[in-house]
Amino acid sequence: MIKSLFLAAALIGASQVARADDPEKAARDALHTLAPSAKPDLIRKSELPGFYEILVNGEMLYVSADGKYLLRGEVYDVPGKTSLSGRSLAAWRYAGLKDLPVEKRIVFSPPNPKHTITVFTDVDCPYCRKFHQNIAAINQQGIAVQYVFFPLSIHPGADKKAQSVWCSQDRNAAYTAAMNGQDPGTKTCANPIAETLALALKIGINATPTILAADGTQIGNSANDPKSLRAELDRIDKTPVAAK
């Protein structure tokens, strides 16, 4: 999305740099110089000295306080050996997820879980189905899984299937059946799917399954193996907040 905005801006031409006596405005104006239609979700002072971070469509950008320079891509904290961009995005996702109560998720949990993860899922996503095949083993590792519906536009009808799962008497059983390829039917009722879809887009979720630790950190390939997933969650828990 942001790439297309920049390409469009190149056809419009450059504009003047914003005043430097208001850094936040300078950062916003710098973004709009390159991408006039961009609507930032967040602008705040960055840990990167002399820069503000701007979140646009789930992408973290960095703009110098004088509005002269804009950086894209990963920014790394070298001593901490961590992604500054990833840390900021995790904090943004954590804040967004706090507003989504557990009643609007489908939860598979062992007694007294050690960890809880949020998984943005699509009933027609083959990788989501593969992930759910391991749900018992994941629970055995002391991990609770909270599924949040994010039906993708590339899967026509996935939103209706999600709605039918949600409206089933036993949501967990209906979700498992759907992930095993069974047609969930056409049940309807009040549901949170429009809300969870909007939330996903706001916090930069663009694929399924997207798996987030409790602090908003995105989990990568380790999620494919329950024991590796547990080890990664243990590691995240032990990492100081400033180094995440």
Whole-Å CA distances, 166 to 34, 189, 234: 42, 8, 31
Instruction: Please indicate, yes or no, if residue 243 is contained in any of the structural domains.
Output: no
Q: What's residue 7's pLDDT?
A: 39
Q: Determine, yes or no, domain membership for 93.
A: no
Q: Are 35 and 6 in contact (CB under 8 A)?
A: yes
Give the model's pLDDT for residue 29. Answer: 87
Tokens 């110098």, residue located: 64
Q: Are residues 128 and 207 in the same domain?
A: yes
User: Which pLDDT belongs to residue 176?
Assistant: 98
Q: What is the CATH number of the domain that holds 229?
A: 3.40.30.10
Same domain for 221 and 130: yes
Considering the domain architecture, whether residues 112 and 229 belong to the same structural domain is answered as yes
> Is residue 97 in a domain?
no
- Eight-state DSSP code of residue 104: G
Q: Please give the radius of gyration of the chain, using alpha carbons only, rounded to the nearest integer.
A: 20
208 and 124 in one domain?
A: yes
> Residue 71 sits in which domain range?
2-76
Q: What is the pLDDT of residue 104?
A: 97
Tell me the C-alpha distance between 70 and 53, whole Å: 10
**Is the same domain home to 106 and 209?**
yes
**Chain CA centroid to CA 39, Å:** 18
Name the amino acid, one letter, at 166.
W
Burial of 209 (0-12, 13-18, 19+ CB in 10 A): buried
Same domain, 119 and 229: yes
Q: What is the pLDDT of residue 221?
A: 73
* Tokens 């960055």 -> residue: 46
Low-confidence residues of the chain: pLDDT under 50? 1, 4-20, 244
32 and 72 in a single domain? The answer is: yes
The whole-angstrom separation of Cα 106 and Cα 222 is 22
Tell whether 120 and 71 lie within a shared domain: no
- Give the number of other CB atoms < 10 A from CB of residue 32: 17
CATH number of the domain bearing residue 68: 3.10.450.70
**Is 230 part of any domain?**
yes
**Cα 151 versus chain centre, distance:** 14
Q: Are residues 107 and 224 in the same domain?
A: yes
Q: Looking at the 3D structure of the chain, how many domains does it have?
A: 2
Residue 184 resides in a domain = yes
What is the structure's pLDDT at 31?
Answer: 87
- Which segments of the chain are extended strands (E)? 42-45, 51-56, 59-64, 70-71, 76-77, 82-83, 106-108, 115-121, 143-149, 210-212, 218-219
Task: State whether 124 and 202 are in the same domain.
Answer: yes
The SS3 assignment for 86 reads helix
Sign of CA dihedral 72, 73, 75, 78: negative
Pair 229, 125 in one domain: yes
Whether 87 is in a domain gets the answer no
239 token code pair: 């990492």
One domain, residues 229 and 113? yes
Note whether 30 and 14 are within 8 A (CB): no
Which pLDDT score, from 0 to 100, does residue 157 have?
A: 92
Give the end-to-end CA distance of the chain in Å, rounded to a whole number. Answer: 26
Q: Is residue 24 in a domain?
A: yes
Q: Is residue 95 domain-resident?
A: no
